[in-house]
Chains A and B, each alone.
Chain A
Amino acid sequence: MQRRTFIKNSALSMATLPLGGLISLSPNAEASSEKTILQQTQKTLADSIHTIKKVPSVCLNCSTVCGINILVDDNKILGVEGNPLDPNSQGKLCAKAHGGVSAVSYPERIVYPLKRVGKRGEGLWQRITMEEAYDTIAKRIKKNLDAGEPEKVALHFGRNKMGDITNRFMNAIGSPVILNHRGLCSSNKRAANYTTIGDTSWETIDAKECKYFLNFGSNFFETHQGGLPLLKRFVEAKNNGAKLITFDVRLSNTAGRSDEWFAPFPSSEGAVALAMAHVIVQKKVYDKTFIEEWTNMSLKELDTFLKPYTAQYAAKVSGLAAKDIERIALEFASAAPACAAFTNRGSQAHQNGLNNDRAVIMLNALVGSIGQKGGYAYGGSKNKGHKSFPLPKPIPPKPKFTTDLEDPRLYPLANKWQKMRVSHLAFDKLINTKQKLDVYLSYTISAPQTWPEGPTVAVEALKDENVIGFHACSDVVYSEMAHYADLILPDATYFERYTIEGRNAYELIPYFALRQPAVQSPYDCENFADTLIKIAKRLGSPVAKYFEFDSYEAFIKLRLSTLPKREGLSGFEYMKKYGVWVEDKKKNYNSYNMALSPKKLQNSFVKEGIVYNKKGKAIGIMHNGVAKKGFKTPSKKFEIYSSTIESTAKSLQIEDDGLPHFEMPQSLKEILDNELVLTTFKWNVHTQARTGPQKYLSEIIHDNPIWINTQTAKKLNIKNGDMIEITSYRPKSGFRASSQNEVVASMEIKAFVTQGIHPQVLAISNSVGMGFGGRIPKAKNGSKRNNLSFPSYEDLDLRGNIWWDTSQGGTGNGVNPNSLIPINPAPLVGMQAWNDTICTIRKI
């Protein structure tokens, strides 16, 4: 059938895309009308409040994973409310949680599996059956397994949350090529935490009891991972007189509501923190016992290390006043131990981000707030976690080899503790090295939208069949990623599937939660985990034997089967009923200082102060004659000096004494008067690319003019709303370093002139500027495309009420700034240095 004929035919009467039917989803495809049920004729939550059924579950519109009750009536999801049993979110929710509901019945949701029939990226699709989809993928994988090349099969995911099944699948087929998004997110922060305290997640401030919040760039009013539980407790602390100091280049909502806001020059946070440490040591307002007994440096060594980092030095590199740095250091110390210095993703997203974050964490050690009531209570981050639930046997072994794609040799710290990877290099490597993929499975990522150089490099790789032989994408909407696939799998929304969940426990008592389906997925939509299970079964020996369960639900049931009975219910039944499991334990303060149990000490031995079990694994440290748990670092102490960092750097011929020194990235150090630093941020109503299609969220934020300081704008004669041309340059050090100011890209963007930003800094958000995903993210009113999505469902809002549509005089849907931002992995860890981009601007 010719494409044009198909569109014409289907426009006449089709309420459903028939099996085998073709559909054009290219951005320029023609529109047509069809018979529909209008959302506006459906009962609202208010109408149904008397008959509503509550299904406890967990939100996934961001990574904070708050407990929700899904409000269901007549098999339709009408809303959500906070699950008061969730110990983290305590019954409260943010805008994203409420706005996420519209994803379920978004008229342009993908509901059938689709096979590409035109050229890749052309947007012409044919509806197929799920059976055909499973067979197609299984056959293609099998071909590579039979050829002894399992590493040609890759799985790439973002906020996956089902690592239990995705890792099992990859291990079973024997491919190590699992790619994620960690290097774009938080790997420097995590690496700082790991090297310093050996903990595996975010810090968990005992916020409710905290008196002094020393915040280096966290925007926990809007987006911090674990932000909502932190904000909930901050509000209570604030009502009791707590103080909040925020360092951020931009006036976020957090900065704007802080007691004091300081805008340091980008990447200088480490210098400010070291100068505060210097003040604390010089003025002797430290916790001598903690430093001497629990850190791996003496006061004398600290004094020597900190000598160059005076407040005057930090003032020079940060642009802040030395007297403010001194004053705040003393205020912070005087609130100890009920004080916490913390970060989120800003200070670490620089080439020097690892040491920035190490320096900030160190402040807590100096004043003795580590693990204390009201302090930097890292020990609370122990939720029960995936590892506590047994995986059904047999368990497939991990592959015994790695490839440079997921284990890049140039960034040896990336995968040392946790699989953090450097996936922003993956597309470039696929294009420019011999390593190619034959099967690429993508899930919960939108690389063209959210990757640095995504619109250019990621798209180039995704389009090229010689680079990626076959691409199957599981997604809820027709996203940027799905557009470049060969096969689209209709995913379940997070309201329609299972996950064992949990985040660092802000009550400092371990807990976990269960995400569960509140309704069945519509049409052919299927949780990607179930799709993988079905593909695995088709792969036969030796893969299928690891998947002898019927479904992901059965798998989750098995994993929860060892939980003790509560209220006479099995673990699975209990979790279905309440959604949350809180351990019967005391608050986890000072976990490093706990004595090891006699059971743990059986057959143990002590060597140079470290306690080892009989297998020779270090399990603790001798402290004043008692065997204690200590920190999970090599020295079992809080490591200001890191031998791991020193030796890893050495392996790359990089000189590093293992101390968290400050050194500004070269590009920023050598910035010229006419140059500015481009930074990025997130809004309180959006999460990366996934919230774009959610109408009540995009209604609030849909546009992303670039923030520019009033004084800077005045010099360049730029007024609010003016269009400017921005040109970005490659960094002067690191990946593709260029001392010649090689241009990355130029772009025209609208200016937002504001007092709320550092004069040398520009800020632009992601999350908007999408070219795909339907009428809401594209900000285009109109009738529904004759497409695969909910064949009999329509929302009148999308036909004419998108008031920000430019054709109605609105501001439109913004721009995707990522072509401007160079791939820029920081040394050792590979964290994307999002906030190091040098650029110039001019008024158009």
Chain B
Amino acid sequence: MNTYRMIIDANKCVGCHACEVACKQEFSAPLGFFRTTTLYLDTGTYPSVKREFLPLMCRQCTDAVCISACTQGALSRKNGIVLVDEKKCTGCGDCVKACSIGAIYVNPITQIAEKCNLCSHRLEIGMQPACVETCISNALTLVTNDNALPKDALPLKNNVNDKPHTLHIGANPLMKQKLVAGQSFSPLNYEIDTWAEEI
């Protein structure tokens, strides 16, 4: 049985948003809710200014706090992927509160928790996740059985106890200011007045 691990290279990301739109189309995700999101951050002072990006999605943690937070046993981890069992989920939102980056939301229409599952339905038939398949810059890659893991890839933690399985390259720690522990990825991060560093 294969295990999977997502590697996200922020240095390669071009900020195009294709990953999150492809993801939302894949699952007909509701407006305002994101399994994957891309954060923007402008740094520096005119005329020396740079723009950085950070694609984010569930980090498929080992010892995932969302799994232990679920009182219904609806969350489990298999092949390196944290999965939601729709039949068991009651939509209580305990898992949302547990995640330090906000990678889970409760669908307001179905009242079921949704999160990135690395497109398990695609992996089963030998396809790549929707985001990886469309990514023009290869900022997203899925490594199978930890073959050829890049050396500069690090876990992105928003809480010291986080145990991310997904690894990031070149993530600017300042991006964490845009995340609220226990709250799903905020759509407000798309508003351009949130792009710059706090001045």
Contacts and interface: CB of A to CB of B under 8 A. Distances in A.
B46 A50 contact: no
A98 B22 contact: yes
Interface residues of B, number: 49
A95 B193 contact: no
Contacts of A256: 42, 49-52
A695 B121 CA distance: 25
Nearest to B28: A44
A39 B31 CA distance: 13
B109 interface: yes
Interface stretch (B11-19, B55-63, B88-96, B148-156): B11-19
A86 to B, nearest CB: 13
A97 B135 CA distance: 12
Given A49-B125, A803-B31, A261 B49 contact: yes
Given A44-B27, A257-B14, A756-B46, A235 B138 contact: yes
Nearest to B52: A256
Most buried by B among A82, A101, A754: A754
Interface in B124-179: 125, 127, 130, 133-138
B187 A45 contact: no
B174 to A, nearest CB: 15
B42 A756 contact: yes
B133 A81 contact: yes
A232 interface: yes
Given A257-B51, A754-B42, A756-B49, A40 B17 contact: no
Contact of A700 (B17, B137, B193): B17
Given A231-B136, A754-B42, A755-B42, A40 B14 contact: no
B193 to A, nearest CB: 5
Nearest to A721: B193
B26 A46 contact: yes
A98 B14 contact: no
Contacts of B12: 235
Interface string A87-114: 0000111110111011000000000000
A262 B16 contact: no
Interface stretch (A24-32, A361-369, A794-802): A794-802
A389 interface: no
Contact of A45 (B14, B26, B31): B26
A263 interface: yes
A467 to B, nearest CB: 39
A572 interface: no
Interface in B180-199: 187, 190-193, 195-196, 199
A705 B122 contact: no
A464 B25 CA distance: 42
A591 interface: no
A97 B17 CA distance: 11
A793 interface: no
B31 A46 contact: no
A313 B137 CA distance: 39
A755 B46 contact: yes
A755 B50 CA distance: 10
B32 interface: yes
Interface string A215-257: 0000001100000100110010000000000000001010111
A221 B190 contact: no
A298 to B, nearest CB: 38
Given A98-B18, A256-B49, A261-B47, A699 B25 contact: no
Interface string A697-736: 1011101010001110000000011000000000000000
Contacts of A251: 42, 49, 51
Contacts of A754: 42, 195-196
A201 interface: no
Contacts of A685: 17, 21
A153 B51 CA distance: 49
Contacts of A42: 28
A257 B11 CA distance: 9
Contacts of A253: 14-16, 51
Interface in A61-105: 78-82, 91-95, 97-99, 101-102
A45 B21 CA distance: 13
Nearest to B117: A46
A202 interface: no
A103 B138 CA distance: 28
Contact of B25 (A79, A257, A261): A79
A315 to B, nearest CB: 14
A232 B136 contact: yes
Nearest to A319: B47
A234 to B, nearest CB: 9
Contacts of A757: 46
A613 interface: no
A696 interface: yes
Contacts of A811: 191
Contact of A696 (B25, B49, B108, B191): B25
A50 B17 contact: no
Interface string B34-67: 0000000010111101111000000000000000
B193 A94 contact: no
A50 B121 CA distance: 9
Given A696-B24, A703-B191, A684 B46 contact: no
A49 B122 contact: yes
Contacts of A257: 14-15, 50-51
A46 B134 contact: no
Given A46-B26, A685-B17, A699 B187 contact: yes
B25 A221 contact: no
A226 to B, nearest CB: 13
A665 interface: no
A46 B52 CA distance: 31
A825 interface: no
Given A685-B21, A755-B42, A221 B16 contact: yes
10 contacts: A40-B30, A40-B109, A45-B26, A222-B16, A235-B14, A703-B191, A752-B192, A755-B42, A759-B46, A804-B187
Interface of A: 39-40, 42, 44-46, 49-50, 78-82, 91-95, 97-99, 101-102, 221-222, 228, 231-232, 235, 251, 253, 255-257, 261-263, 684-685, 695-697, 699-701, 703, 705, 709-711, 720-721, 752, 754-757, 759, 796-797, 801-804, 811
Given A263-B46, A699-B31, A720-B193, 10 more contacts: A40-B110, A44-B28, A49-B121, A92-B134, A93-B18, A97-B18, A700-B190, A755-B42, A755-B44, A803-B31
7 closest A-B pairs by CB: A256-B51, A801-B31, A95-B17, A803-B32, A95-B21, A98-B21, A92-B136
Interface of B: 12, 14-18, 20-22, 24-28, 30-32, 42, 44-47, 49-52, 108-110, 119, 121-122, 125, 127, 130, 133-138, 187, 190-193, 195-196, 199
